[in-house]
Amino acid sequence: MTETDPAGARLSEVDRAGLQSDATPAGPIRTCIGCRGRDSRSTLLRIVVVTDDRGETTAAPDPRKCLPGRGAWLHPDIACLDLAVRRRALSRAFRQRVEGTDALRAWIQDVGSSQQ
């Protein structure tokens, strides 16, 4: 016999066990380009490419997640940034050469020191 909720909808095995809300993280899931770990969107930092007056492209933080253009996701951790740089994941994610990460590194260090 199939169980139903009060509205008459069928319940899955997960619903019957009461694990649905615990098993599924809230919100969209994204992948960190550094460690390749999957995490919720609210946990990761969105980064974008910014081109300066000289035409150099740099990775910049987008903490409000609203800047235009292609974005990538990164844990706000220096270790993940270093891993992304070493693996050349920034250029691959943005589909163009990314020449600088200084602004991104400074932002991560600033946020990390303010959270401690």
Through-space distance between the first and last CA atoms of the chain, rounded to whole angstroms = 54
Examine residue 105 and state whether it is found in any structural domain, yes or no.
yes
- The stretches of 1-116 forming alpha helices (DSSP H) are 13-17, 20-23, 78-86, 89-94, 102-115
Examine residue 47 and state whether it is found in any structural domain, yes or no.
yes
**Which residue has 């319940």 as its token pair?**
11
Burial class (CB in 10 A: 0-12, 13-18, 19+), 89: buried
Examine residue 96 and state whether it is found in any structural domain, yes or no.
yes
- Residue 37's domain spans which residues? 27-115
Token code pair at residue 57: 């492209």
Pairing mode of beta strands 45-51, 57-61:
antiparallel
Mapped onto helix, strand or coil, the DSSP state of residue 105 is helix
In terms of phi and psi (left: phi > 0; alpha: psi -120 to 50; beta: otherwise), the region of 67 is beta
Model confidence at 6, in pLDDT bands (50, 70, 90)?
Answer: low
The structural domain count of the chain equals: 1
pLDDT attached to residue 24: 59
Q: What percent of the chain has pLDDT over 70?
A: 76
Examine residue 4 and state whether it is found in any structural domain, yes or no.
no
Average pLDDT over residues 24-47: 92
Model pTM score: 0.73
pLDDT attached to residue 80: 97
**CATH value at residue 41:** 3.30.1230.10
Residue 2 has pLDDT above 60, yes or no: no
Examine residue 6 and state whether it is found in any structural domain, yes or no.
no
Examine residue 35 and state whether it is found in any structural domain, yes or no.
yes
pLDDT, one tens digit per residue, over 88-105 is: 999 999 999 998 899 999
Examine residue 88 and state whether it is found in any structural domain, yes or no.
yes
Burial class (CB in 10 A: 0-12, 13-18, 19+), 84: buried
Average pLDDT over residues 37-50: 95
Examine residue 33 and state whether it is found in any structural domain, yes or no.
yes
